[in-house]
Every structure is written in C-alpha cells, then in structure tokens.
Amino acid sequence: MQTGYLFLQTHTDHPDLVRLQAAQYRPMADQEPTAEAIRYIARFRDIDAARMHFHNALSRTLVDIDSGLYRVPLADAIATIEASDLRHERIWLDPDLPADTLQQVKALTGRRHRRQDRSRRIWNGIGLLALLWLLFNALSSLH
C-alpha cells in the first residue's frame, strides 16, 4: 500500500474528457487559469486501489488507459471519487467550478452512495440466506 493523490484534469480544447492522474506527492493546482487545469485532488492511503476503484466505476467511459482519459462529465468523475468506499480525504476542489457542477457532484455522490448501500444490503442478504441454508442442511442431516 502506498499513500498518494488522485487528481482530475480537464482541458479547454476537450471539454468532454477528464484525465485521471496519480502522484505520490501532492500536485500543485494552478492559481491562474490555463488550458489544462487540475480540478480536483484527493488523498488516498492506497493509491493503486483508488485508481482501480475509479476505473471499475467508469470503465465504460474509458478513452485511453495509458493517458488516463475518460469521456465523462467532470461532476460524475468527482462524484465517483467522493463516493469511494476507500478511506480518502478531499484536498482541493477548483473554486472556479460553476455552482451547478457542484450541485451535480453532491447529487451524483448521494446517488452512488445509495447504490452502494443497496448492493451491500443485497449481498448481505444473499450471504445470510446461504448461511441459513447451510445450517438447515446441517441440522437436517443430524436426524
């Protein structure tokens, strides 16, 4: 496990693409607007697992694995990281993001949390049913 930072970049020439990058040290977010800008930074205890979780959630939107490009709205990419079950900390969010993007991040993060909770409850229920079935078979074989 290696601690590190995930950060999201956008480019003005490609508004529909988001680049996911990882770094061992905190990247510096530019104060002055440039064509390519960091929009979000989060710190994870296990950076490799964090990248894997992000990729699994957005693999259908992958454009180029080598450069970390995904065809996804920025709000969805941020929400994917924010909703991660892995322990993490938001370090920086671009203060110049529009208010509607921030509202979308909040809504999408909540939706992802609810979906994860629902999935967890379903799998816990399946596990409980399997244990009950094993217990029933064990008890019925005693007679």
Q: Over the stretch 33-85, which tens digit does the pLDDT of each residue have?
A: 667 899 999 999 999 999 999 999 999 999 999 999 999 999 999 999 999 99
- How confident is the model at residue 33, as a pLDDT? 64
| Residue-range domain boundaries for the chain | 4-142
Q: How large a percentage of the chain has pLDDT more than 70?
A: 95
- How confident is the model at residue 22, as a pLDDT? 95
Per-residue model confidence as pLDDT tens digits over 88-139: 999 999 999 999 999 999 999 999 889 989 999 999 999 999 999 999 998 8
Structure pTM?
Answer: 0.83
DSSP the chain: ---EEEEEEEETTEEEEEEEEEESSPPPPPSS--SEEEEEEEEES-HHHHHHHHHHHHGGGEEETTTTEE-S-HHHHHHHHHT-SS-EEEEEE-TTS-HHHHHHHHHHHHHHHHHHHHHHHHHHHHHHHHHHHHHHHHHHHH-
pLDDT of 32 strictly over 70: no
